[in-house]
Structure 1
């Protein structure tokens, strides 16, 4: 993952705030260049000049001529895809509404800085911005089309597994299937960031997806024998595959051939791309009619607002790691997650916090008295079946003992 931003824009009608922000960004060395503007009108013109130039925009709310919310709306209209942070002390209700409005404007509002601005606050938000950008930026050079075709021919598409764990019982609720290419020659592992986008571009995503699902269904039988029959598999489907009305039938045929019920499979759809076409919505509906669970993955990085969550046929929502990272000190993330917990509890949706990597994050999430599941490196990195089963058996034994005590 890239560890710093290339270009950052700070917008505030106070020269003092601009000087402080520029000094903090320089001290943190997480932004190569910082541009400052005393007005939102000037800032908007700079963004329009090159829509992809700025990785992040920090903006005040209360400014003359054009205020911060108006700037955010205009950024959405021109298709700005970077992160946006508000520099303002915000009431929780304002945070919640601003976050929802930002999604309706198709922009990524991911936090707020209270005045006077503190270095540690900026550092935390820059980390979140880098995480947000990791969804769209290329971390490593993609493999070639020829190499992907060879991997498919050699049957090297391999499922890896990562658990979702109940925050209160510590028991494994379900298991996410993650794609890897594992070389038959030297067992070298290629991560999905290097081949999933390529597979979409080359129209090979069905081959990758269906091969992975076939293998995961075979593994599920053994996993259930070792760990228990209540486990479900979560499985990622590309948003592009939702444009194919036959996708539900194809998925159903595969799992039925392995005697797996659709009730044991949760289809994860990333929120990075807006779900809007009638074809996509029909595909989602047919998946639910067939009995598949539907999870909205990476909630927070895309444009599905809470009202849409009530209307679409999701059974689970996964909070993106950028809202979990340092949540114990980030009021913006706390308000967004609290609103989501209230909504999912009322709508009887499962809720998963992804990317839990620090004990402080886990401790804060435990304060929510809800049936939350958690997923992240704090518990387990994705593992092959051979590694995952013994890890899970040991985890279950430990969790059971802890529960009895």
Structure 2
């Protein structure tokens, strides 16, 4: 077990009698204690997105005593949000999410300093918005924002906690390009360059189990507490992968593969340029996959990541079936041949994109995934004559 990182935040003023009573269960923990609680009360945390992930993060960080909570979202509450976005209620439909979330946080703890940002994070404002906080929590649902957060946090020297959801699956990690001790890791070390727009379906298309948001959001809130207090083992250098339907959490190590930000780059621009994609970094188009099949043929390892029910309903000739939950197990990843081309596919492309990133992190040199999932693979193999 790696040593904990040093505390991110200095302790605030001594606790009042009311705070001692409120946080008594934290004070009883050696891992938090009085000093840790004072650090939490002095901490400034920005939560990006008041949705499925942001909801439990905001509630648990407010309950934990984080003194300043920023919430950024430019959306309004819709009825379809209520299945998983528990910081909002029926009466909030049509209300700005930042206002609804702020009201819920203040109802939980009126002493919390809630700062609302009813804007969309963009290159022109990201640096100013993020620089006022000690740690950033990203609960957004699009790749452009995630990569922007990654690069701005790298230049500002900030740690950030990331979560991602799809169907009954979740992934959580902590990224910090240049931590005070140990090796830094960022989003590009896991996923390389961003996938093409539209290649990975949204939750609106592919669905998401509401309670998975609670599991992932709680894990993200725990990461913030550990970072602020300097206690326990964070997920820096690891990705926690949750399969709700299988009832499993898998731990996948991540290694540095991108250069850290330079001081000159930090001074010149809000986010470093996207590096050229390495082989297999982004979702491959059909033409590249056809050429791979034509040149390597039976040497290509094609893996169907769908659940057993999905695979039974529409088997895919030429692919071996390894459900996503089993594929992301560390033992399964360790068994992959690093020199053998690997092609991954699922129902629509979300699970295969995540699995491809983990396979690359495990050392497989040539990893590709099929953005359109099973239907795209069927069309591709039919055209190829497989």
TM-score past 0.5 threshold: no
Structure 2 length as normaliser, TM-score? 0.29
Please identify which structure carries the higher strand content: 1
